[in-house]
């Protein structure tokens, strides 16, 4: 960051605006000023700004409201709160909402210089710490790929703020959106990062063994209990337990889980001695838990215990501007993993990847990239390398061929092929999508030699 950085001062006190402007101008910065929240916000929206100095008490649109608007529009913009002694507690609260730091009045010229330089250095670090090959994705020490979409910026902003706390987090989103990865990210940026991160897949555990898996059992407590077993809660002691697909557990286990969360203690099957555990709880589901509560499938009290801080990960089809970043990341990752030469998709292949709906979300995209790299026999990934995954330029069969328009027979053949590939050869599902019976589909597959 050069000394030509732009600073925006939003303060209704003329003396503060003038004195700060003089000090910062002497440092070589470009300074803009606003005497109220509305004017300051409008200026921020229209003009490039590197750091904002923001008074909390402003006429009309107050400082807290301006901060929220700025962080929503530009999560990485450092905002320094200017506050009187009486409102220092409020200033500290703003830091939980994304403020970079605060200056308590009266402050010296040196304090102003130091804090502005610190904010600029922080921004410079963010802008230069790029993930290799991803020019617009800032690292922020996250191991997951960061999207540039507004929806993912909002998600990661919440992750940054909630990670250092002990709050219970409920992560929702479709299968394949990266819920477990996000949970691991929260753990890795928490004070518990050096302690265990224990994952419990609630959808994979057998109902009869669920209680034993979670809370453990003592030797001889039931048939087959040949030795004492430590449950997942005990294993996670001191760290974080992640309950994936939490909606799959029965009402009976939900009641016992609620008690464990409330009391932070568990009792092994066959024992009467409670064991205290020090854990942070994260949970995830692809279902709408509020709907599950309304249908009587999930306890309301447990729902509120789990959803202290809810985070929803949007599906990939709703943030397609992130696909190029994710695509580059997975290409680099699997090239390095396999030791193969990096293969870049052709323009047609890239267009197909961008247009695909990605029902399997990020997991489907990564699998597609890995398979295409393995199966590709050329120096770059072509459109035909993606046909294995049902991905193609979907509208292409409607476009005129070089020799003219295609016949209905050609269009039908290509469309059946596309749908069949998208369902990985599952003929029952394909027939359902095409609204024809399976026998008719088999006849057309034979007719067009698609088997």
CA distance 296 to 247: 12
* End-to-end Cα distance, the chain: 60
User: Is residue 451 pLDDT above 50, yes or no?
Assistant: yes
Number of H helices, E strands in the chain: 18, 16
Lowest-pLDDT range, 155-169, 212-226, 353-367? 212-226
CB burial string 308-319: b at 16+ within 10 A, e below? ebebebbbbeeb
347 Cβ contact partners less than 8 Å away, ≥ 6 residues apart: none
- Least confident interval from 92-101, 230-239, 309-318: 92-101
The residue count for the chain? 451
Distances from the Cα of 365 to the Cα of 53, 135, 382, angstroms: 42, 20, 16
Please determine, for residue 419, whether its predicted confidence score (pLDDT) is greater than 50.
yes
Q: What is the mean pLDDT of the chain?
A: 82
Q: What gap in Å lies between CA 450 and CA 352, rounded to an integer?
A: 21
Alpha-carbon span 197 to 305, nearest angstrom: 20
Residue 185: closest CA among 154, 214, 164: 164
Contact 334, 311 (CB under 8 A): no
As a whole number of angstroms, the distance between CA 209 and CA 250 comes to 12
DSSP code for 396: G
Q: What would the 3-class secondary structure string for 35-90 be?
A: CCHHHHHHHHHHCCCCEEEEECCCCCCCHHHHHHHHHHHCCCCCEEEEECHHHHHH
Overall average pLDDT of the 286-307 stretch: 93
Spell out the residues 6+ positions from residue 198 whose beta carbon is closer than 8 angstroms to its own.
232, 235, 236, 239, 240, 241, 242
Query: Taking 60 as the threshold, does the pLDDT of residue 289 lie above it?
Result: yes
Q: Which residues contact 42 (CB under 8 A, 6 or more apart)?
A: none
Q: Compute the Cα dihedral for 88, 92, 94, 95 and give only its sign.
A: positive
Query: Mind listing the pLDDT tens digit for each residue in 140-153?
Result: 556 554 677 888 88
User: Which three-class secondary structure state does DSSP give residue 451?
Assistant: coil
Q: What is the CATH number of domain 315-391?
A: 1.10.8.60
Coil, strand or helix at 323: helix
pLDDT at 134: 30
* Least confident stretch, 20-24, 111-115, 174-178, 396-400: 396-400
Give the Cα separation of 56 and 66 in Å (integer). Answer: 9
Look at domain 167-312 and name its CATH class: alpha beta
Mean pLDDT along residues 395-402: 50
**The CATH fold of domain 393-451:** Arc Repressor Mutant, subunit A (1.10.10)
CA distance 174 to 155: 15
**pLDDT tens digits along 170-197:** 999 999 998 998 999 999 899 998 888 9
The predicted model gives 222-244 an average pLDDT of 86
CA distance 215 to 231: 4
CA 133, distance to chain mean position in Å, is 20
The per-residue pLDDT for range 427-440, each reduced to its tens digit, is 888 888 888 988 89
47 Cβ neighbours under 8 A, 6+ residues apart? 6, 8, 32
Beta-bridge partners for 276? 265
Domains 6-128 and 167-312 fall in the same CATH topology: yes
Tell me what pLDDT residue 77 has: 84
Paired strand residues for 310: 170
- The model's pTM: 0.57
Quick one: pLDDT at residue 216? Answer: 86
For 38, residues 6+ apart whose C-beta sits below 8 A from its C-beta are 60, 61
| Long-range contact pairs involving 393-396 (C-beta distance under 8 Å, separation at least 24) | 393/348, 393/351, 393/352, 393/355, 394/352, 394/355, 394/418
The domain segmentation of the chain, as residue ranges, is 6-128, 167-312, 315-391, 393-451
Give the pLDDT of residue 171: 96
Give the pLDDT confidence of 95-132 residue by residue, as tens digits. Answer: 667 788 778 777 888 889 888 988 887 766 554 433 33
Q: Among 38-52, 55-69, 144-158, 241-255, which stretch is predicted with the lowest mean pLDDT? A: 144-158
Residue 243: what are its φ and ψ, rounded to 5°?
Answer: -95, 95
Give me 185's structure tokens: 């990210």
- CATH T-level fold of 6-128: Rossmann fold (3.40.50)
Q: Exposed e or buried b for every residue in 357-374, given b needs 16+ CB within 10 A? A: ebebbbbbbbebbbebbe
Nearest Cα to Cα of residue 154 among 74, 65, 49:
74
Residue 137: pLDDT above 50? no
Higher pLDDT, 166 or 375: 166
């Amino acid at each position: 960051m050069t000394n030509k950085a732009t600073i925006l001062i939003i303060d209704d006190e003329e003396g503060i605006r003038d004195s700060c402007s003089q000090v910062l101008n002497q440092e070589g910065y470009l300074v803009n000023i606003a005497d109220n929240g509305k004017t300051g916000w409008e200026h921020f929206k229209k003009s490039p700004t590197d750091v904002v100095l923001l008074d909390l008490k402003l006429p009309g649109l107050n400082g807290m409201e301006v901060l929220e608007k700025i962080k929503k529009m530009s999560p990485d913009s450092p905002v320094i709160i200017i506050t009187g002694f009486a409102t220092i507690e409020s200033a500290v609260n703003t830091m939980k909402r994304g403020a970079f730091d605060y200056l308590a009045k009266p402050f010296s010229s040196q304090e102003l210089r130091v804090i502005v330089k610190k904010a600029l250095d922080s921004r410079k670090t963010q802008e230069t710490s790029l993930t290799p090959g991803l020019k617009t994705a800032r690292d922020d020490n996250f191991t997951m790929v960061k999207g540039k979409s507004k929806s993912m910026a909002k998600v990661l902003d919440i992750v940054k703020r909630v990670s250092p706390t002990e709050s219970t987090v409920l992560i929702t989103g479709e299968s394949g959106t990266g819920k477990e990865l996000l949970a691991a990210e929260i753990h890795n940026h928490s004070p518990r990062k050096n302690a265990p991160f224990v994952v419990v897949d609630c959808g994979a555990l057998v109902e009869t063994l669920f209680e034993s898996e979670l809370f453990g059992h003592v030797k001889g407590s039931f048939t087959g209990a040949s030795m004492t077993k430590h449950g997942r809660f005990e294993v996670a002691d001191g760290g974080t337990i992640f309950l994936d697909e939490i909606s799959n557990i029965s009402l009976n286990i939900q009641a016992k889980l609620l008690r464990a969360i409330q009391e932070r203690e568990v009792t092994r099957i066959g024992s009467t001695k409670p064991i205290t555990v020090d854990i942070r709880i994260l949970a995830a589901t692809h279902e709408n838990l509020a709907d599950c509560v309304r249908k009587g499938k999930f306890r309301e009290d447990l729902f509120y215990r789990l959803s202290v801080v809810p985070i929803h990960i949007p599906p990939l089809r709703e943030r397609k501007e992130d696909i190029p970043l994710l695509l580059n990341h997975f290409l680099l990752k699997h090239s390095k993993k396999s030791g193969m030469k990096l293969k870049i998709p052709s323009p047609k292949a890239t267009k197909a990847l961008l247009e695909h709906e990605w029902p399997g979300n990020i997991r489907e995209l990564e699998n597609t990239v890995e398979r295409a790299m393995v199966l590709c026999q050329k120096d770059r990934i072509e459109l035909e390398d993606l046909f294995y995954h049902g991905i193609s330029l979907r509208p292409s069969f409607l476009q005129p061929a070089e020799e003219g328009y295609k016949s209905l027979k050609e269009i039908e053949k290509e469309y059946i092929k596309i749908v069949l590939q998208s369902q990985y050869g599952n003929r029952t599902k394909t027939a359902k999508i095409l609204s024809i019976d399976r026998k008719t589909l088999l006849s057309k597959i034979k007719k067009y030699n698609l088997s």
